[in-house]
Every structure is written in structure tokens, then in C-alpha cells.
Chain A
Amino acid sequence: MKLLDFLRARPKNTADIARERLRIIVAQERATRGGPDYLPLLRGELLAVIRKYVNVDPDAVQVNVERDGQHEVLELSVALPEQKLAVSGER
């Protein structure tokens, strides 16, 4: 039986999955850490407003505060979805 186990495909390496998931979430949480408390709320409200006009992904709005010497820069970036005019036009 052991021989068969050995020949069978190895089970998925879940440790790698864990590591990758943590890498992403930890980086994301570190980026927002230390910033003002209102950032998540600001991001949520911006997302709601943008979604009134364009149907964007929840991840499409990024809000970051960067410290540059004496002043802080509030950086907003919104990734708009790809244009699907041709498709919608045919419908």
C-alpha cells in the first residue's frame, strides 16, 4: 500500500498556499497600518460613489498615505474596468 501511496500524485502543498495568502494579506495590512483611522471608511465611501457611475471591483480603489519628508501625500488610485463596448453594443 505504501508503494501505491508513493507513486500516487503528491497531495497539494497547503503550506505554500498559506504562505502566499499570508504574504498578500500581511503586506496589505502593513500598508494601511499607521495611517489615519479614517482611511478604510474613506475608501469604502469612495468605492460607493464610484460604483454609482462605474461598476468597479471592490479592490479597484486604493487609498494610501505616504510620508514624504515634512508632508504627507494622500494617494488615490482607481482601476477602471476594461471597456466592453463592443460586447454590450451587440446585446
Chain B
Amino acid sequence: MTEIIVVTSGKGGVGKTTTSASLATGLAKRGHKVAVIDFDVGLRNLDLIMGCERRVVYDFVNVIHNEATLKQALIRDKRLDNLYVLAASQTRDKDALTQEGVGRVLDELAADGFDFVICDSPAGIEKGAHLAMYFADRAVVVVNPEVSSVRDSDRILGLLASKTRHAERGDGPMKQHLLLTRYNPVRVEAGEMMSVKDVEEILGIPVLGVIPESEQVLAASNSGVPVIHDASSIAGQAYGDAVARLDGEEIELRFIDAPRKGFFKRMFGT
């Protein structure tokens, strides 16, 4: 059975694409056949984060409009041969996506034996974001520990509960996961940033993972290699944990506590 997972947030710039790339890569590394789709028509970016921007010939919109076959548009990852990217169109506007067309592509992916389809949602609550979540079986809500991101995420939770196929069929609440990104345990400890617990309590959905703020995330996007490939980075390891949890494992959260400083260091050191 194919599981469709939407990566969404409402607010822009919180790490949806970074997360989509790493979750898709991580699931593929675990042996699943995975496709990751960029729904941000007009502002294609997933291809850059996945490092396949120069291999895009046909895109999602071409497939929807029957200008290319799905096979022609799926870009096979250069590291993992069970991972495929479907790029967004760079030239069309967001009306180029249709519900019927998106549904058809997802059905075709299911028929092709994909285990997971990751839908990378655009920011906002317009058509692209709506269609990215509409067919989903599960949702990963990406949140920064910051007021506007949390509030927008709650709005998205409302839409997930009402404006999706899952909700329309009356299948009960969709499985929703909270993924906190740009988490800084030192600032949390100093009372400058909300904690995992705070955000979890406000939004009321279980935590899938906490990705610590890390320089390696920028380094990874600079080089077009999803950060989960970087086993030496804490962000990469945290994504690895999140993927394992998504895949049903139970693992304790890591990297959520500030490194301990000794008494003297706190008093006199920097």
C-alpha cells in the first residue's frame, strides 16, 4: 500500500523542503520505494535541495497536462535508486494544478508500487498547499519554536481536519506529526525560546522529531545533498531518528538539552 505524507506548515521558511528532502531520502535509505513531489508551482526548489536541478526535463505540471508521462518526469536520485523526485513547474502558475490531475498522478505512483509519496507543500493555504494535503494519509507539520509559525501550524491543523479527502470520507482524524526545526536548546534553557513541550502542548499533536539548529543544514543545501546524508551532523542524525519514528520505531528524542557547563565556566568563562 502506498502511503501519502504531506509536509506542510502554513508559514514559509520553516524548513518544509529541507524536511521533505530528508524524510524522503531517509525512507529510501531504509529500503522503501519513495517519490517526493514539489507542489510549489512557480517557485521550484526541491530539485535544488535534492541536487537534481540540472536533470529536470519534465515536471509535475507536464504530467498533469499529459505533456509527458510520469516515467519521463520522475528523476531518479543519483545516490539511491529507489528514490525519485518530481519537480514543480517553474513557469506555470499555481492554477496549473488540478485536483483530478494530482489524484491521477498519485494513483499512478501507487500502481507503480511506491511505498511512500512525500508531498512538499508550498507555504500559505492556497491551491498548491490545499492540493498537497488533500490526498494525504498522514501529515508532518513543520514548526519553528516561534509565535507566528506555531499559530500558522494550528491553522493548518484545522484545514487537515476539514479540507482533505481523509476528512471528507469521515475516516476520523488524520495522523499528524509535529516536527520542530531550528531548535536551540541553549536558548530554550535561557527562557528565550519555547520548548518542545510548550509547542507540543499548544498544538496538541505528538512529536515526530526535533531538528536542532545546525550550520550543517545550510552546508547541505549549498551542496544539494539532503542533510540526512551527513551522519556527522546533529541535524542529519535528528532527521534519521524522525524517519525511523515515521517508519514505526520508538526512539527517544535527542539533542533537546543544552550541553552542561561546569560551575566555574558559568561563573567566569564564556
Contacts and interface: CB of A to CB of B under 8 A. Distances in A.
Contacts of B146: 18
A19 B191 contact: no
Interface string A17-38: 0110111011001100110000
Interface string B244-270: 000000000000000000000011111
Interface in B95-111: none
B193 to A, nearest CB: 6
Given A2-B267, A3-B268, A6-B267, A19 B202 contact: yes
> Mostly helix, strand, loop or mixed at chain A's interface?
helix
B154 interface: yes
> Mostly helix, strand, loop or mixed at chain B's interface?
helix
B93 interface: no
A13 interface: yes
B172 interface: no
Interface string A28-64: 0110011000000000000000000000000000000
Given A2-B267, A18-B194, 10 more contacts: A2-B266, A3-B267, A11-B191, A15-B191, A18-B147, A19-B202, A22-B202, A26-B203, A29-B158, A34-B158
Interface of B: 146-147, 150-151, 154-155, 158, 162, 188, 191-195, 198, 202-203, 266-270
8 contacts: A2-B268, A2-B269, A10-B191, A14-B191, A15-B192, A18-B194, A22-B147, A29-B151
